[in-house]
Amino acid sequence: MKRNKRKIMPYLFISPFFILYAVFGLYPTVSGLMMSLQTKSGQFTFFNYQTVLTDTRFWKSISNASVYMLGSIFIILPVALMAALMLNSKFMGKKSGFVSTAFFIPNVTSVIVVGIVFKLILRTNNGLINTALQDVGFIEKAVKFLSDPVWAIPSVLLIGCWRYFGINSLYFLSGLQGIPTELGEAARIDGAGKWKEFWYVTLPLLKPIMTYIVFIAITGSFAMFGEVITLVQNGSSVGSRDSMLYPVIYLYNMMFKNNQVNRAATMGYIIAVILLIITTVQRYLFREKD
């Protein structure tokens, strides 16, 4: 009897995890998949997938997210790396601790607060940027940062840069501080300058950090919601319906405003497949080469 209890006890201790996973993870996943394959009447069909895949607004949201993703990777990542190199230099000294703390603050600031503040900065009427540019005579007519398709994505990218630049710098800083100094010294003994030391020693050792940051940038771009929803009215941008349309916002509107639950579930799975393809390509590009 005691032997049986000893065999059962480990499973009892880990059972809460499996129960919670089944209720909050497995069940919603299977239920959502079933909903995506059904009409409102409960009939099984692939009509929802056909409708979503031919929806131009859905692909516009994917396009906006993709542009934001590329911008966040090719702008935030290099700037964050340069900031980390500066923080890790002898020039900063004891100041690096204070600056690192300051860099972390935007990441822990409420998304809603960030959206409201940047809305005040970027809005057309009496916005901080437009007012400043008009006062110095740089522009005559206010720029519609939040509704003009040309400026909408750069405006959201500006928020992303401010919010995630600091935390990415700290990721790089942790990677730099984990690199043994002996490797750099050995490279310098072999005649390598600072640039070659960075390119052939530092950068390859930062590859795992870069892989993680790129992965977060990809998933974060397609999960963009809080920053954008506070910038626009009624879930869509003023003056241009699609300039600030992102996948999760379109899914949210489809589910809660249009009451198209089945179609929203379909969107969720298509977005998941797109993310799976992109992250698979990313892992292939960042793979360790023999």
Tokens at 81, concatenated: 């790396």
**Statement: residue 33 has pLDDT above 80:** yes
pTM of the model: 0.83
Q: State the average pLDDT over residues 164-170.
A: 90
**Statement: residue 49 has pLDDT above 80:** yes
236 by DSSP, 3-state: which? strand
Q: State the average pLDDT over residues 177-191.
A: 82
Domain locations along the chain: 1-36, 46-285
**Percentage of the chain lying above the pLDDT 90 cut:** 18
Q: What does DSSP assign to residue 287?
A: P
* Dist CA 178 CA 169 (whole Å): 14
pLDDT of residue 274: 92
Q: State the average pLDDT over residues 184-190.
A: 80
pLDDT of residue 136: 87
**Statement: residue 125 has pLDDT above 80:** yes
**Statement: residue 24 has pLDDT above 80:** yes
**Statement: residue 123 has pLDDT above 90:** no
* CATH number belonging to the domain at 46-285, selected among 1.20.140.10, 1.20.1050.10, 1.10.3720.10, 3.40.50.1370: 1.10.3720.10
pLDDT of residue 244: 84
pLDDT of residue 239: 37
**Statement: residue 267 has pLDDT above 90:** yes
Q: State the average pLDDT over residues 179-196.
A: 81
Q: What does DSSP assign to residue 18?
A: H
**Statement: residue 277 has pLDDT above 70:** yes
* Dist CA 100 CA 29 (whole Å): 39
pLDDT of residue 240: 45
Among 92-96, 126-130, 217-221, name the one with the lowest average pLDDT: 92-96
Residues 6+ apart with CB under 8 A from 124: 130, 142, 143, 144, 145, 146, 147
pLDDT of residue 290: 53
**Statement: residue 47 has pLDDT above 70:** yes
Judge residue 194's burial from the number of C-beta atoms within 10 Å of its C-beta, 0-12 exposed, 13-18 middle, 19 or more buried.
exposed
The residue with tokens 């941008």 is 237
* Dist CA 73 CA 55 (whole Å): 27
